[in-house]
Amino acid sequence: MTACEMCGKKPAKFNTAIEGTTMHVCADCASFGEIKGRSDVRIVYKEKPKFEKKEPTIIFIQGYGARVKRAREKLGLKQEEMAKRLNERESLLHQIESEHLKPSVELARKLERELHVKIVEEISDEESHANPTTPLHAQKNSAYTFGDYIKKR
């Protein structure tokens, strides 16, 4: 069942014209607009969702922090010096090395280049299901719905 486009909570049952746009909403949200009919048809999005299969999921290799730390020490660099090289704060590097924080993909690539280590892996969708590591793009389903948008105005 398709979820209501307004609240995102209840199943969509009606085609409703709201502010000039036809939306598929639940019975509660249908009162916001003019009901055009029941929707038994699947929603066809005008815009494709941003996350397409083409984009690989990036995961951080287990122990990425330790890898960064080891590689840095091998180069004889202090955290402070390494941070300067990366143009990042020392505290950020510290958090990455202690794995309290995952770097951005961009920074991860930079670390890989600077330190000659591998800390991220690109995996296909099938593999990601079997892998317990949290994918970087786990926030696929934003909690932000069109309903929020309307209420805020």
Question: Footprint of Zn ion on this chain (CB under 5 A)?
Answer: 4, 6-7, 10, 25-26, 29
| Residue 7 or 117 having the CB closest to Zn ion | 7
* Beta carbon of residue 151, minimum distance to Zn ion (angstroms, whole number): 12
- HEC per residue, the chain: CCECCCCCCCECCEEEEECCEEEEECCCHHHHCEEEEECCCCCCCCCCCCCCCCCCEEEECCCHHHHHHHHHHHCCCCHHHHHHHHCCCHHHHHHHHCCCCCCCHHHHHHHHHHHCCCCEEEECHHHHHHCCCCCCCHHHCCCCCHHHHHHHC
* Beta carbon of residue 10, minimum distance to Zn ion (angstroms, whole number): 5
| Residue 16 or 57 having the CB closest to Zn ion | 16
* Beta carbon of residue 43, minimum distance to Zn ion (angstroms, whole number): 13
| Residue 36 or 89 having the CB closest to Zn ion | 36
* Beta carbon of residue 4, minimum distance to Zn ion (angstroms, whole number): 3
| Residue 28 or 127 having the CB closest to Zn ion | 28
